[in-house]
């Protein structure tokens, strides 16, 4: 597209924004204009002087991935603490939490032979899985498309490697819905197949695209006896497509899997917390969080480096724009979201122990792409108020305001009075990166990241202004 007619286009685009901004809504006209001005100031600051992208570069490329219990996770804790101190937040501290400590061990190996040709399979162990015997496991493969199908097969799974191959439903526009539709086979495959005597499970990677990156993720054995534990791994989507085809050619082909992962004793770690003290209600809190830990493939950029740096950027933007929050704002870098949620649980437990009053919480853990909206999951008194803010955010491209799930780490804070919200960026690319070696800094765009931080800051500004633990007062 060249410059042809673009002067006109520009003028019209601006006109159209102005139109939108003057839309009537349930906030009084005076507040709408004032809030609109404040929000514009926030976006302008984020887009011209945003720091989140450079912070993300440090976190993802200087430190790298940050598996719970790892040395890099500890480095990230120290980095986050120092960064928030350098930003001059009123209070910065570490909240101790014990976390699971699972290690991958040697690079996994998987392969099989078909028509005399050896096929190497891109594979990675799932977090929490046990190892195979040191010389690996070899067995025939039985392909299924759901936990329920595996359960029905029952004893037929005995001695087999169970291959869970349910793909993402590509027709779901929201890729998180597609993820939800098949992630159970990753989390519960081994605990389903183990008791029937299967020797391992392999699962098609949880991804919206077909390529050769295996995607890891958490799994669990639930309450089954430990002698029924079997190794569980993910293979790439491309390998899954091939294996499925090859199984039709030769249902008796032998699959080889070797992995040496193991679970070590729980390790000490921390949530990292920074505060700006509230001017009116210093003992009432609004939490803004993402998770500092990541999987041990890639750099944990979209999951969830972006949420980490956006959370700190929210507080920085309050300072830069001179907005004084009424409540105390807390940026919380949660530890161990991926594999235990210990940080989120600890944070809520301590809040309860200390009788802290939490007014609201917002979580960014859906990637760092262009903002599309927010979800609301909180007290019923505030829901209409929350929804009425939509026209303030539409000029910045946030049109999707939904009732629903807010986030894993802030979930344990839920009670009758708190208002939880989940930041919702565009989801189309997220599951190409998620939990894989493909989740790297270069996949994040600075403007998209900073727009997200500005949107979150603006939402926190509104929550701080209009919400309290009592029903809304205006």
Which residues are known catalytic residues?
Answer: 337
- Interatomic CA distance for residues 344 and 271, integer angstroms: 8
Among 42-50, 92-100, 104-112, 273-281, which window interacts with its own copies (CB under 8 A)? 42-50
| C-beta of residue 158 within 8 angstroms of C-beta of residue 140 | no
Among 97-105, 252-260, 278-286, 404-412, which window interacts with its own copies (CB under 8 A)? 404-412
Residue 411 interacts with its own copies (CB under 8 A)? yes
> What is the 8-class DSSP label of residue 39?
H
Please identify which residue in the block is written with the tokens 């949420």.
307
CA distances from 349 to 268, 336, 346 (A): 17, 15, 5
- The smaller minimum CB distance to its own copies, of residues 12 and 264, is found at 12
- Interatomic CA distance for residues 335 and 381, integer angstroms: 31
- The smaller minimum CB distance to its own copies, of residues 15 and 93, is found at 15
438 to 467: interface string for its own copies, x by CB under 8 A: -------xxxx--x----------------
Expressed in angstroms, the distance from the first to the final Cα of the chain is 48
- Our CA dihedral for 352, 359, 290, 458, rounded to 10 degrees, sits at -170
- Interatomic CA distance for residues 253 and 189, integer angstroms: 21
Please identify which residue in the block is written with the tokens 């040191």.
134
Residue 82 interacts with its own copies (CB under 8 A)? no
Residue 89 interacts with its own copies (CB under 8 A)? no
List 81, 320, 385, 426, residue binding its own copies (CB under 8 A): 426
- The smaller minimum CB distance to its own copies, of residues 451 and 453, is found at 451
| C-beta of residue 400 within 8 angstroms of C-beta of residue 371 | no
Residue 209 interacts with its own copies (CB under 8 A)? yes
List 21, 25, 31, 47, residue binding its own copies (CB under 8 A): 47
List 26, 88, 177, 283, residue binding its own copies (CB under 8 A): 177
Task: Give the pair of three-digit tokens for residue 425.
Answer: 């960026």
- The smaller minimum CB distance to its own copies, of residues 16 and 279, is found at 16
- Work out how close the CB of 77 gets to its own copies at its nearest, in angstroms, rounded to a whole number: 20
- The smaller minimum CB distance to its own copies, of residues 91 and 447, is found at 447
Residue 208 interacts with its own copies (CB under 8 A)? yes
- Work out how close the CB of 369 gets to its own copies at its nearest, in angstroms, rounded to a whole number: 8
- The smaller minimum CB distance to its own copies, of residues 80 and 217, is found at 217
Among 76-84, 158-166, 278-286, 394-402, which window interacts with its own copies (CB under 8 A)? 394-402
Please name every residue paired with 309 in a beta bridge, in sequence order, or none if there are none. none
Residue 217 interacts with its own copies (CB under 8 A)? yes
Among 99-107, 225-233, 246-254, 391-399, which window interacts with its own copies (CB under 8 A)? 391-399
Residue 184 interacts with its own copies (CB under 8 A)? yes
Among left, alpha and beta (phi > 0; psi -120 to 50; other), residue 9 is alpha
The 3-state secondary structure of 95-153, one letter per residue: EEEEEEEEECCCCCEEEEEECCEEEECCEEECECCCCCCCCCEEEEEEEECCHHHHHHH
- Work out how close the CB of 203 gets to its own copies at its nearest, in angstroms, rounded to a whole number: 12
Residue 372 interacts with its own copies (CB under 8 A)? yes
Residue 8 interacts with its own copies (CB under 8 A)? yes
- Interatomic CA distance for residues 339 and 296, integer angstroms: 12
Site for its own copies in 338-367 (CB under 8 A): 338-339, 341, 365-367
- Work out how close the CB of 185 gets to its own copies at its nearest, in angstroms, rounded to a whole number: 10
Burial 154-165 (b: 16+ CB within 10 A, else e): eeebeebbbbbb
| C-beta of residue 291 within 8 angstroms of C-beta of residue 285 | no
- The smaller minimum CB distance to its own copies, of residues 179 and 256, is found at 179
Q: From the CA atom positions of the chain, what is the Rg in Å?
A: 24
Residue 136 interacts with its own copies (CB under 8 A)? no
């Amino acid at each position: 597209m060249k410059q042809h007619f673009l002067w006109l286009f520009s003028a019209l685009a601006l006109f159209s924004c102005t139109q939108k901004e003057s839309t009537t809504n349930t906030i009084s006209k005076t507040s709408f204009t004032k809030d609109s001005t404040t929000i514009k100031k926030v976006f302008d600051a984020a887009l011209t002087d945003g720091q989140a992208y450079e912070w993300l570069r440090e976190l993802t490329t200087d430190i790298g991935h940050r598996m719970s219990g790892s040395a890099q996770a500890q480095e990230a804790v120290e980095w986050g603490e120092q960064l928030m101190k350098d930003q001059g937040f009123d209070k910065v501290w570490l909240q101790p939490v014990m976390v699971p400590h699972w290690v991958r061990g040697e690079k996994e190996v998987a392969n099989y032979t078909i028509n005399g040709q050896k096929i190497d399979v891109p594979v990675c162990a799932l977090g929490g899985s046990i190892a195979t015997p040191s010389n690996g496991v070899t067995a025939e493969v039985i392909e299924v498309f759901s936990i329920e199908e595996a359960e029905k097969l029952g004893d037929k799974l005995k001695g087999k490697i169970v291959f869970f191959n349910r793909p993402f439903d590509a027709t779901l526009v929201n890729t998180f819905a597609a993820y939800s539709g098949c992630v159970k086979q990753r989390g519960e495959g081994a605990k389903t197949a183990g008791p029937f005597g299967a020797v391992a499970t392999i699962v098609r990677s949880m991804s919206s695209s077909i390529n050769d990156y295996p995607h890891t993720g958490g799994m669990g054995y639930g309450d089954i006896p430990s002698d029924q534990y079997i190794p569980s791994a993910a293979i790439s989507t491309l390998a899954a497509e091939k294996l499925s085809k090859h199984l039709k050619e030769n249902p008796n082909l032998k699959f080889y899997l070797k992995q040496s992962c193991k679970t070590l004793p729980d390790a000490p770690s921390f949530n990292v917390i920074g505060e700006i003290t509230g001017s009116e209600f210093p003992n009432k809190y609004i939490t803004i969080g993402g998770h500092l830990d990541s999987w041990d493939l890639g750099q944990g950029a979209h999951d969830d480096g972006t949420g980490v740096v956006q959370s700190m950027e929210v507080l920085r933007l309050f300072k830069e724009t001179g907005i004084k929050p009424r409540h105390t704002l807390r940026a919380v870098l949660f530890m161990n979201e991926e594999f235990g949620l210990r940080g989120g649980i600890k944070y809520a437990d301590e809040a309860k122990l200390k009788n802290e009053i939490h007014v609201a919480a917002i979580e960014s853990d859906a990637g760092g792409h262009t903002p599309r909206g927010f979800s609301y999951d909180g007290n019923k008194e505030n829901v209409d108020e929350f929804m009425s803010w939509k026209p303030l955010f539409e000029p910045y491209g946030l049109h999707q305001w939904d009732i629903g799930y807010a986030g894993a780490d802030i979930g344990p804070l839920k009670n009758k009075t708190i208002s939880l919200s989940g930041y919702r960026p565009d989801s189309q690319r997220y599951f190409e990166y998620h939990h894989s070696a493909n989740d790297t800094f270069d996949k994040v765009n600075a403007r998209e990241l900073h727009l997200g931080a500005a949107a979150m800051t603006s939402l926190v500004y509104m929550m701080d202004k209009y919400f309290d633990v009592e029903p809304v007062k205006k």
